[in-house]
Structure 1
Amino acid sequence: MKIIIKVLKGKDCTLEVSPTSTIQELKEKIDVALQIPATNQKLLLLGRPLNNDQTIASYPNIKEGTKLILVVMKPGLRDCIHRAFRKYYTEAQAERLTNEFMTDFEAKLKEQSLDDLERFADNCL
């Protein structure tokens, strides 16, 4: 069946999906079609978010021609780092490097005092 994805403040796209596809699989199709990472997507039907683990058939209101609203969330630090690593490494390597980077980053951040963070923030402004 074909469903329409309406991007808020963006364009529409039509995708072919099967009723047995999960919402996560739909998000991966949107990633390919619109280059919006699945982790930054929130799909809404009648104003309610769709659960990644549910199938399309589990939502009785989704049928041929249904329009889903796609809200694009800003990527977090982890997503930005992962995207940068993916440019130069395989997906598995990028995931491993991202995890190591985030672990190291969080450890270093915990070592900082509030005064250190305030000085850093003042320097950035």
Structure 2
Amino acid sequence: MFLTVKLLLGRRCSLKVSGQESVAMLKKLVSERLHVPEEQQHLLFRGQLLADDKRLSDYRIGPNASISVVVRPLEKPAPEDTRLPQPLWHHLGQVLAKHFGPQDTEAMLQLLRREHEECLQRISLGDLEQLARYLLTKEPLAQPTGEREPEVLSPNKEEEKEAVQ
């Protein structure tokens, strides 16, 4: 069967493989064709991370399927004397504390965390690809799939709406 393997920024190739091939072997083929080291590859099928020790058939990957490759950077050992950065929520709490009391600050942080989590749940792989493309190439962003733009009414349309009511 043939699979399409694509990198986040659009490079792609077609590979002929068997359903009994292991994910590790697929990574080797991807490495040869797209020049991405195996240890830097995360292979995804329908949003699911593929484990090296599994076979393609274990994920029900069939002919003409599309596999996404997320390239993770090589990890550099952190210098021992560097401090870990404070999390975003800590900094946000400090800013909010300048303007609100302790209880209101905590309530705002909880609300923002909940809203943040809900937004993250709506992000698709396509949205992430588009964001990466924008950050790396400065192409304009399209509207995310999880949300739509609010309707802008012209003065005439507002009058029409009022007339209907």
Q: TM-score, normalised by structure 1?
A: 0.60
- SS of residue in 2 equivalent to 1:51: coil
- SS of residue in 2 equivalent to 1:70: strand
- SS of residue in 1 equivalent to 2:28: helix
- SS of residue in 2 equivalent to 1:69: strand
Following TM superposition, where does structure 1 have runs of at least 4 consecutive aligned residues deviating by more than 3 angstroms? Answer: none
User: What's the counterpart of residue 66 of structure 2?
Assistant: 67
Task: State the Cα distance separating 1:10 from its structure 2 match.
Answer: 3.0
User: What's the counterpart of residue 7 of structure 1?
Assistant: 7
Unpaired stretches in structure 1, ≥5 consecutive residues: 79-108, 119-125
**In 2: Cα distance, 1:44 partner to 1:50 partner:** 6
Deviation track 1:48-102 (CA, whole Å, cap 9, x = no partner) reads 1011100111111x11100011100001248xxxxxxxxxxxxxxxxxxxxxxxx
Task: State the structure with more CA Rg.
Answer: 2
Supply the AA of the counterpart residue of 2:72.
M
**In 1: Cα distance, 2:37 partner to 2:54 partner:** 19
**In 2: Cα distance, 1:77 partner to 1:21 partner:** 32
How many residues are treated as equivalent by the alignment?
Answer: 82
Unpaired stretches in structure 2, ≥5 consecutive residues: 83-165
User: What's the counterpart of residue 39 of structure 2?
Assistant: 39
- SS of residue in 1 equivalent to 2:10: coil
CA RMSD of aligned residues (A): 1.9
**In 2: Cα distance, 1:29 partner to 1:12 partner:** 12
Greater relative contact order: 1 or 2 (C-alpha under 8 angstroms, separation 6 or more)? 1
Task: State the Cα distance separating 1:38 from its structure 2 match.
Answer: 0.5
Q: TM-score, normalised by structure 2?
A: 0.46
User: What's the counterpart of residue 76 of structure 1?
Assistant: 75
**In 2: Cα distance, 1:35 partner to 1:11 partner:** 11
